[in-house]
Amino acid sequence: MTNNPCTKFQDDDIYEVFECPEFSTFKYNFIEQYAQHNCVLADIDMVFREKFEGDAFLSTVESLTGSSLIRGAYKKAMCHIMFINYRNRHFNVPVHRESKLKSAWKYVRAVAQFAVYPLWIVYKIGIPSLHKKPKQTYQCGFRVSCCDWSFRNKCRSFDFLIDKNLLSKENVIFCIEEPISSEYRAAIDERGYDSVQIREILKNADISFLYREFLKKQFPAWLKLLIRSPLKPPYMLSLTLEILYKSLLWSKFFEDYHVGHYVVFNDDLPADIIRYIHADRSHTRTWFYIHSCSTNDFLTPPGMDDVLDTLYAFYATHHLVVWGRKMENYYRKHPHFIQCFDRFGCLFSEQVREARERPDTNTPRQKLLMKCHPKKIIGVFDTSFTETCPLGFEDMIRFVSGLLQLLEDFPDIGIIFKNKNSLKLLSEYVPQILPHYQKLQDHPRVYFTDADNTDPTECLAAADLVISAPFTSSSIEAIGAKIPALYYDASNRFPGCYYDRIPRFVAHNYAELKDFVNYWLIFCPPAEFEVYLNSYFKGELHEDFDAKAISRLREQLAS
């Protein structure tokens, strides 16, 4: 890593997390922080071989799951621990070791949880059934989790892939993998979709399944693991329990259901690999679609290798749906078990195109027009700015100040401001931004979405130009729908970044912002914009400009 020597591995790095409660992203160079992901990924295979080559505990888990891929789950869990320790040591951050008493309690608790696992499974099954359920068949299964998009969104709803033609409520099933809100569950039921709660699928399992999958197969392996459990760190025991449990869940799911395809996003947990192993064995094709292009490679300064992220390591899926070559190349740089990269373009650009073609009723555009009558509308998107993000509240204050000046310099524009986090939430963790956001909210030519649950798709569709904080995905989503867009790096945090190779795409100060807005709203002819898209975006950042990425994915899922 150029100008950034890697931290050297130490034995404690994979056994204990040395936490630093006072650690703040803003106190240290954020690129050097993020670059520790690269150091960890460069070391992980070597460390894993040295520490666990021939390890009987992991060999038992591998034998039970029937796949060597399961080792990727342990590597991913180790990556998280190593990253925190590498980062803290790289910056000589004072850390706190747990007391011996606390460490001992954590260790005893992990072993105890491991010991009572069979009783937990018996409790989850309850009274076993004498009869096996008839198998149900669906074309497609969709993962449901607590981190899905709000079901209130008109466009980016949990069922956005269903078109009532190729995919309909008759041939899809929603698979609830994690606890979700009662509102979310009600929305699934109200729309008439079939669903299954994966965590409850063992309830009243038939006796043949209980004998075959648990008593005959998993119980003997559990005994071997229990004997060796006192020699393993608590996080390995917790992960192993999760693998055992999820292995039973997915065994039962694929015994009760046949789905041709299984679709997920945000599939980042180490134990998620077990789902892929069972799906592959059941001839179900798994699909993981990337919903954002806001990755570390776009923050990487010139002269450095792309900064990676351990979160994206060891993905296991048959298909990873990406937007273009740049995104594919970035994910390929991480260790992975991905069989096929499908370059379909940004999915949500299709929704933006469709929203622009629909009648304009009760949309952000209509709400802005109730306040003013601008000649041009700019859609503006902020981003998260917390202790773990590249941008802080001071950066966003400059961002907002630039927007207010823009309103002064361009009296014929109106702004739709789509804030990522509500003002109520911001008041809890970064109240310093509130007076500045309030100025925007009170401006006569600004519609500030805040808690209206406004769909970002409609904010994009209303815009003649999109301005985003660096480097959230909104500007690329707009480009995919042939809407001019740019990033406003108000604090000049990212000079020489990847996007700087594209003319008039990143404004690093207000003078550039004013110049770029003037060009895109007034001077750029459509033919020149078409050339611009094909020259700088097509293929590399966005596969095509027909805005039909959802249709392409839907066709594959229906086949």
pLDDT digit string, tens, across residues 65-93 = 999 999 999 999 999 989 988 888 888 87
Q: What is the pLDDT of residue 149?
A: 63
Q: Tell me which residue of 477, 493, 407 sits closest to 448, measured CA to CA.
A: 407
Q: What is the pLDDT of residue 2?
A: 44
Q: For the ranges 95-99, 217-221, 555-559, which has the lowest average pLDDT?
A: 95-99
Q: What is the pLDDT of residue 23?
A: 60
Does pLDDT of 283 surpass 90? Answer: yes
Does pLDDT of 441 surpass 70? Answer: yes
Q: Is residue 318 part of a domain?
A: no
Q: What is the pLDDT of residue 94?
A: 73
Q: Is residue 291 part of a domain?
A: no
Domain that holds residue 431: 358-546
Q: Is residue 35 part of a domain?
A: no
Strand partners, 258: 137
Q: For the ranges 146-160, 402-416, 444-458, which has the lowest average pLDDT?
A: 146-160
Does pLDDT of 485 surpass 80? Answer: yes
The angle formed by the CA atoms of residues 59, 62 and 66, to the nearest 5 degrees, is: 140
| 28 band by pLDDT with thresholds 50, 70 and 90 | confident
Mean pLDDT of 502-526: 97
CA atoms within 13 A on the CB side of 268: 11
Contacts with 395 (C-beta within 8 Å, 6 or more apart), sequence order: 385, 469, 490, 491, 493
Q: Which helix (H) or strand (E) holds 320?
A: strand 315-322
SS3 130: coil
Q: Whole-angstrom Cα distance, residue 530 to residue 108? A: 64
Mean pLDDT of 246-255: 98
Q: Helices in 294-448 by DSSP H: which ranges? A: 325-332, 347-357, 364-369, 393-409, 423-429, 434-442
| 238 band by pLDDT with thresholds 50, 70 and 90 | very high
Structure tokens at 422: 């509500």
Does pLDDT of 465 surpass 50? Answer: yes
- Percentage with pLDDT > 70 across the chain: 93
Q: Is residue 508 part of a domain?
A: yes
pLDDT in tens, 50-64: 889 899 999 999 999
Q: What is the pLDDT of residue 452?
A: 65
pLDDT in tens, 146-157: 877 665 678 888
DSSP annotation string for 460-513: HHT-SEEEESTT-THHHHHHHTT--EEEE-TT---TT-GGGGSTTSEE-SHHHH
Mean pLDDT of 422-438: 88
Mean pLDDT of 14-22: 58
Q: For the ranges 135-149, 169-183, 417-431, which has the lowest average pLDDT?
A: 417-431
Q: Whole-angstrom Cα distance, residue 258 to residue 279? A: 10
Residue type, 541: L
Mean pLDDT of 199-214: 96
Q: Whole-angstrom Cα distance, residue 14 to residue 18? A: 11
CATH of the domain at 391: 3.40.50.2000
How many residues can be counted in the chain? 559
Q: What is the pLDDT of residue 359?
A: 79
Q: Whole-angstrom Cα distance, residue 124 to residue 248? A: 11
SS3 158: coil
Q: Whole-angstrom Cα distance, residue 173 to residue 176? A: 10
Q: Whole-angstrom Cα distance, residue 459 to residue 418? A: 7
Q: What is the pLDDT of residue 87?
A: 87
Does pLDDT of 447 surpass 60? Answer: yes
Q: What is the pLDDT of residue 454?
A: 76
Q: Is residue 89 part of a domain?
A: no
Q: Whole-angstrom Cα distance, residue 52 to residue 68? A: 13
Residues 477-497 as b or e (16 or more Cβ within 10 Å = b) = bbbbbbbbbbbbbbbebbeeb
SS3 363: coil
Q: Is residue 14 part of a domain?
A: no
| 243 band by pLDDT with thresholds 50, 70 and 90 | very high
| Dihedral of alpha carbons 470, 474, 480, 482, sign | negative
Does pLDDT of 247 surpass 70? Answer: yes
Q: Is residue 321 part of a domain?
A: no
Q: For the ranges 98-102, 142-146, 552-556, which has the lowest average pLDDT?
A: 98-102
Number of domains comprising the chain: 1
Q: What is the pLDDT of residue 1?
A: 40
Q: Is residue 214 part of a domain?
A: no
SS3 453: coil
Does pLDDT of 21 surpass 60? Answer: no
